[in-house]
Structure 1
Amino acid sequence: MRNIGLFIFLITLFLFQSAEGADKKSSSGKEVQDKRSIVIKAIESAELHAKSGKTKKAITELEKIIETAKTCGDESLLAKTYELLVEFNHKTGARKKEEEYTYWLNLIKTAAEKKQLEKQSRKDELEMSKLREQTLNAEWVKEQTEEELNRQTDSLRKTKDSLDLLDLKNKEHLAQIDLLKKEREIEDLKIKEQESRLKNQELVIKEKDARHRFITAIIASLILGIITLSILAYVIYKNLRQKRQYSDQIEKQLGVIKHQHDNITNSINYAQKIQNAMLPNESSYEHLFEDSFILFKPKDIVSGDFYWFFNVNDGDDRNEGGAENNKVIVVAADCTGHGVPGALMSMVGYNLLNMIVYNKIYEPHLILTELNKNVRSALQQDKNDNKDGMDMALCVINRKDKTIEFAGAKNPLIVIKNGELEHLKGDKHPIGGSQGQAHRDFTKHTVSYDGDTHIYLFSDGYEDQFGGPESKKFMVKNLKDLLLKIHREPFSKQKDILNKTIEAWKGTKEKQIDDILIMGMKVN
């Protein structure tokens, strides 16, 4: 009951929004406030009646203002109205009314939870987009920094070579200076020895001064060169230090980005728990079909593929003993996209299927027709450019008549009996999607079975997977050949073979491109 309610609530919420839009155009803000006042007064009056023992009168007064509460623009008042109706009908023992108002109250709460999930999904998508942009920018900056560091390293290496060469020249100059000093000492001795002989003292002094100026100039040049190289080395060292600091800042920013990525991943993991809780339990499927399997491999954490089955006997106790009670409905569906958007579409499809069978529609082609109409209505595809939809394979196993009834929206059904494979193709149009027809008819196929018969439903994720030596798609022909080859194996082994085959086909070079879903069962 709770699982089928989401779509009904979406329809009701759409009507609320349409009504609010009409009221805003035709009524003033004062009229909306007056409606809220009426609802509040009615709630207070009903509570007073209940306290004084007039519970039925309180119920009557609350039922009168339900429509007003729906159009007053305050969902909390509508929820309060339903809560009091549940409480008062429980006191009077009106179990059907209590269940009805409990159902509507749960719809409001479910809608609030869905809005929160959609808001979180949009926020996660925005954060992921920002994360990708930040990662690309950080990688570009890191590449530029590495290139600059390489250039600086080459420059430093060349500078070091220059310093080594200059050091060698300095040593040569020092050797020359030592030589000059020795020569000067020798000359000084000669001057002293010849001092008494030389008549022109001034010539000797000028010669000594000239040599002294020459030595001083050489020493000054060496000192200036050393100072210049020291300054150059300091500038290079400072630049390298700044580059290292900038690189450290980049590493820190990458750490922040990783933290944000981890938060988004945790959010999607929580969404996976919600989706797993929504999907039917695989053990229930094995209870309906003792020999069966479900191979379910989402591309991302959450999936746009989903499976669904319904035992008519469990869902319709009012028809006990009737022919309908021998039917089991099985669905393998592939929603537009994958990841979070696909998972949201899977929730819509899952709840709409529950609503349709709740209204006792058990014919496969009629279920698809009704599902198409409700998807278009839920997504308002007649009013906007929304193109989301789903492909689906749906079969109804009638154990009394020993027949398999099938209808498909693009997806097929494989039936193997007496060692022969029959491929039942679905219609070419999907559920919802970009095709604009308000009404779509689907074809019903009927196959009888006598003895062991194997049935397989699947999405296109397995056959479209790239891999192999030439990096091509697996293709539906290879899937059919594989199913025919392994169909006599135990179903647990069939599932293992299918999984190992696609993993080997994909290998290490290719990534999984779509969600994968295959359902197999034996009827006898």
Structure 2
Amino acid sequence: MRNTFQSSITLAVAGFIMAIALSLLHIPELYSQQLRPLSPTNQERIERLEELASYHLNQNDISSAISAMNQISYIYWENGRPDRAIQSFQRTASYYEQINDLENLHKVYSIIGLIQLDLEDISGANRAFTRQLEIRRRIGDQQGITSALVDLSQVKSLMAEHREAIGLLEEALEQALRLNYETILPHIYNQLANSYMSINNVRQGEEYRRKYNDIREHLARQSMRGQYEESTIQSQVEARLSQEDAERSREQIKINQLLFQLEQDSIKRIVQEREDSLELAQLRAESQMREIERIEQERELAQAEVERQIAVQNFQQLIIYSTAGGLLLVLLLALIAYRGYKTKQKANKQLELKNQQIQQAQDKLQEAFIKIEDQNYRITQSISYAREIQNALFPPQKTLNNYIPESFIFFQPVDMVSGDFYWFREMGNPNTSPLKELENESPNEAPETIQSNGFLPIKGDKFIVSAVDCTGHGVPGAFMSMIGYNLLDSITITGTSHPDRILEKLNKGVRRTLKQEEGNNQDGMDIALCVINKKNKTVEFAGANNPLIYISNGNLKTIKGDRLAIGGAQKKLKDRKYTPHMIKVDQPTWFYILTDGYTDQFGGERGRKFLLKNFKELIFSIYQKPMAEQRKILEEQFNQWKGQEDQIDDVLVIGFRLG
């Protein structure tokens, strides 16, 4: 059930994010901006765009004028002048109102609000988002009104106007329930809970927190329709992308018509490319060069005409003073001049053809560069949202200290999202069912302390902790980590607590989830998993490629994991069995489990791997220090060893002391 819950949440959030990304205008990456003067190049670009906007307004082509004004706004925004960007966007908004383009008008006010937030002008952001809500109401898009109410409530919360925020959220809640707009309900319930808590209304806050948890569970039960919803979302995305491509094509046709009209009327050559003002400058420069070449050709022809007239005069004189030999000489000179002219004319045509080919290649490169920049921005945004989802899924690292006071987690991903993950949970709590254990877990509350002779302060009989390394890192690894996390929850919620059985079921679950029996997918994961038995004072271990290191009575020992990965290619041993190991803890013992990111890191003076041997020596030299200090030393040693080298993999080390 936990697996279904997490999968549905992931799909819902991903769909919501993609819908927002497609509906917005191109928005540069937000960052804390500092006002700085524009470069001469950007100032020149703005002046040319202002001329183009004025021309379109004179032609009563308001849509094309707005396009130029939007480019001016983005130049200001992207180059450290958000104040001028706001003024420019406000000017654009006035023209959108003039042509009654409400769809783009509310988007402009949304951008103005974002810039105001970036400038920490909360009151300005409040005005912009309020205006956005008014326009949404005029459009009558009920879902859009609901989203605008939630956006404005967030600004009200920043202004500490929590009661106004509650009023907006209550209206949004009523709309969402009426429209069956389920994907936004978790956001509304969560904000309502926070707002009521801010005004010290704990009862209402807890009530909405309960509703928040209920709607998440409800969405989880709908995960069986995940594939259909995903394909539907993809179709919508492709349709909207096709609409955007069609819009760009129509704008390009408008530009070509304008160029033809300007050439026919002998008006100054204005070449304007809507999506990039730099291309506008290049086209203008090329137009000027062609004009200069034309004038130069006319001058050469005029000079040739003067020379021809002189030659004619000389020829006439030669006729007078010479005979047939002079006539033959003149004819010969004329022939040479004609051949030279034809040769030069042919060379000029070849040169012009080459210039056109070069320009076409430059245009294609520029178009490709713009597309790559846009794709990079969208990918970065998607990864940022994936990181937020992963952070929400995994418990805070310090939560482990609530169960094992003397413990630490050193977790350092190589990318924004990670393919390594840690997982732990309490088993055998006599006061709750396994399902309620998951629902009642709170990362901010320590488990109730019971008499355990100082061994393990938990209510249940056992505690499971693991370090998992999924195939790859970054986004592919993050997807695998979410699959592994949900599978571990699903396996242990049924009561399975023996480490070898957990790994066997995890192997089957990965192969089943990725359909590896049917397709060519070979992704998998390595894992080190410990089950701490409070009653028997033992630690049971099973591993898939990853080891367990423990120190007892001054001796360091290593238990290697089985050389059988979880999932992946399995031509032999379809039903894999993993070896269980049991360690009796009758005196203070230190345990360490890890992935291979730490030991495989290149560095040092010779650029070599750190290796497991050096890791064990390092652990043995520091194991008697406090756990927090051990973690700090591991982090410092890793960064010192890495030096200027790039981090090659996600790093995860978990240590704890028992007895």
CA change 1:252–1:375 in 2 (3 A) is: closer
Q: CA deviation at 1:448?
A: 1.4
Are residue 437 (structure 1) and residue 574 (structure 2) matched? yes
Match of 1:288 in 2: 403
SS in 1 for 2:387: helix
Is the CA contact 1:421–1:484 (under 8 Å) kept in the aligned structure 2? yes
Provide the C-alpha distance between the structure 2 equivalents of 1:123 and 1:206, rounded to a whole number of angstroms: 90
Match of 1:229 in 2: 344
Map 1:197-216 to 2 at 5 A: 207=322, 210=325, 214=329
Provide the C-alpha distance between the structure 2 equivalents of 1:504 and 1:238, rounded to a whole number of angstroms: 58
Q: CA deviation at 1:370?
A: 3.7
Counterpart code for 1:110 = S
Provide the C-alpha distance between the structure 1 equivalents of 2:643 and 2:391, rounded to a whole number of angstroms: 28
Map 1:121-520 to 2 at 5 A: 207=322, 210=325, 214=329, 217-218=332-333, 221=336, 225=340, 228-229=343-344, 231-233=346-348, 235-312=350-427, 317=432, 325=460, 327-379=462-514, 387-399=522-534, 401-435=536-570, 436-438=573-575, 440-451=577-588, 453-508=589-644, 511-520=646-655
CA change 1:481–1:122 in 2 (3 A) is: farther
Q: CA deviation at 1:443?
A: 1.6
Q: CA deviation at 1:113?
A: 4.9
Is the CA contact 1:121–1:340 (under 8 Å) kept in the aligned structure 2? no
Is the CA contact 2:7–2:223 (under 8 Å) kept in the aligned structure 1? no
CA change 1:388–1:120 in 2 (3 A) is: farther
Summarize deviations over 1:437-495 as a string: whole Å, max 9, x none. 325243222141523x4321111222223444554433211222222233345544543
Greater shift after overlay, 475-484 or 219-228? Answer: 219-228
CA change 1:295–1:219 in 2 (3 A) is: same
CA change 1:356–1:2 in 2 (3 A) is: closer
Is the CA contact 1:315–1:358 (under 8 Å) kept in the aligned structure 2? no
Provide the C-alpha distance between the structure 2 equivalents of 1:249 and 1:374, rounded to a whole number of angstroms: 48
Is the CA contact 1:407–1:426 (under 8 Å) kept in the aligned structure 2? yes
Greater shift after overlay, 439-448 or 207-216? Answer: 207-216
CA change 1:316–1:333 in 2 (3 A) is: farther
SS in 2 for 1:421: strand
Structure possessing the higher relative contact order (Cα contacts under 8 Å, 6 or more residues apart):
1
Provide the C-alpha distance between the structure 1 equivalents of 2:463 and 2:558, rounded to a whole number of angstroms: 21
CA change 1:370–1:218 in 2 (3 A) is: closer
Provide the C-alpha distance between the structure 2 equivalents of 1:518 and 1:299, rounded to a whole number of angstroms: 14
SS in 2 for 1:307: strand
CA change 1:315–1:479 in 2 (3 A) is: farther
Counterpart code for 1:361 = T
Is the CA contact 2:398–2:408 (under 8 Å) kept in the aligned structure 1? no
CA change 1:105–1:218 in 2 (3 A) is: closer
CA change 1:234–1:409 in 2 (3 A) is: closer
Q: CA deviation at 1:330?
A: 0.6
Counterpart code for 1:459 = T
Question: Gaps (5+ residues) in structure 2?
Answer: 9-213, 238-299, 435-447, 453-458
Q: CA deviation at 1:250?
A: 1.6
Q: CA deviation at 1:414?
A: 1.3
Match of 1:52 in 2: none
SS in 2 for 1:325: coil
**Correspondent of 1:109 among 217, 222, 225:** 222
Provide the C-alpha distance between the structure 2 equivalents of 1:115 and 1:333, rounded to a whole number of angstroms: 30
CA change 1:266–1:205 in 2 (3 A) is: closer
Q: CA deviation at 1:252?
A: 1.5
SS in 2 for 1:333: strand
Sequence identity percentage: 38
Provide the C-alpha distance between the structure 2 equivalents of 1:121 and 1:513, rounded to a whole number of angstroms: 33
Match of 1:163 in 2: none
SS in 1 for 2:491: helix
Provide the C-alpha distance between the structure 2 equivalents of 1:491 and 1:121, rounded to a whole number of angstroms: 47
Question: Gaps (5+ residues) in structure 1?
Answer: 9-100, 125-166, 189-203
Q: CA deviation at 1:518?
A: 1.5
For the aligned residue pairs, the C-alpha RMSD in angstroms reads 4.6
SS in 1 for 2:543: strand
Is the CA contact 2:2–2:490 (under 8 Å) kept in the aligned structure 1? no
Is the CA contact 1:465–1:512 (under 8 Å) kept in the aligned structure 2? yes
Provide the C-alpha distance between the structure 1 equivalents of 2:547 and 2:216, rounded to a whole number of angstroms: 36
CA change 1:227–1:499 in 2 (3 A) is: farther
Provide the C-alpha distance between the structure 1 equivalents of 2:487 and 2:598, rounded to a whole number of angstroms: 26
Summarize deviations over 1:185-212 as a string: whole Å, max 9, x none. 9xx9xxxxxxxxxxxxxxx977576457
Map 1:56-71 to 2 at 5 A: none
CA change 1:223–1:514 in 2 (3 A) is: same
Is the CA contact 1:4–1:353 (under 8 Å) kept in the aligned structure 2? no
Counterpart code for 2:221 = I
Counterpart code for 1:258 = E
Q: CA deviation at 1:304?
A: 2.5
Counterpart code for 1:109 = Q
Q: CA deviation at 1:285?
A: 1.7
SS in 1 for 2:530: strand
Provide the C-alpha distance between the structure 2 equivalents of 1:260 and 1:216, rounded to a whole number of angstroms: 66
Provide the C-alpha distance between the structure 2 equivalents of 1:343 and 1:392, rounded to a whole number of angstroms: 15
Counterpart code for 1:285 = L
Greater shift after overlay, 496-505 or 283-292? Answer: 496-505
Provide the C-alpha distance between the structure 2 equivalents of 1:110 and 1:218, rounded to a whole number of angstroms: 90
Match of 2:48 in 1: none
Greater shift after overlay, 456-465 or 220-229? Answer: 220-229
Summarize deviations over 1:93-129 as a string: whole Å, max 9, x none. xxxxxxxx999955432344577569989999xxxxx
Counterpart code for 2:610 = F
Q: CA deviation at 1:332?
A: 0.6
Is the CA contact 1:461–1:513 (under 8 Å) kept in the aligned structure 2? yes
Normalized against structure 1, the TM-score is what? Answer: 0.56
Provide the C-alpha distance between the structure 1 equivalents of 2:357 and 2:390, rounded to a whole number of angstroms: 50
Greater shift after overlay, 413-422 or 329-338? Answer: 413-422
SS in 2 for 1:317: coil
Q: What number of residue pairs does the alignment pair up?
A: 363
Summarize deviations over 1:207-233 as a string: whole Å, max 9, x none. 576457647755764575366335524
Greater shift after overlay, 484-493 or 354-363? Answer: 484-493
Is the CA contact 1:372–1:440 (under 8 Å) kept in the aligned structure 2? no
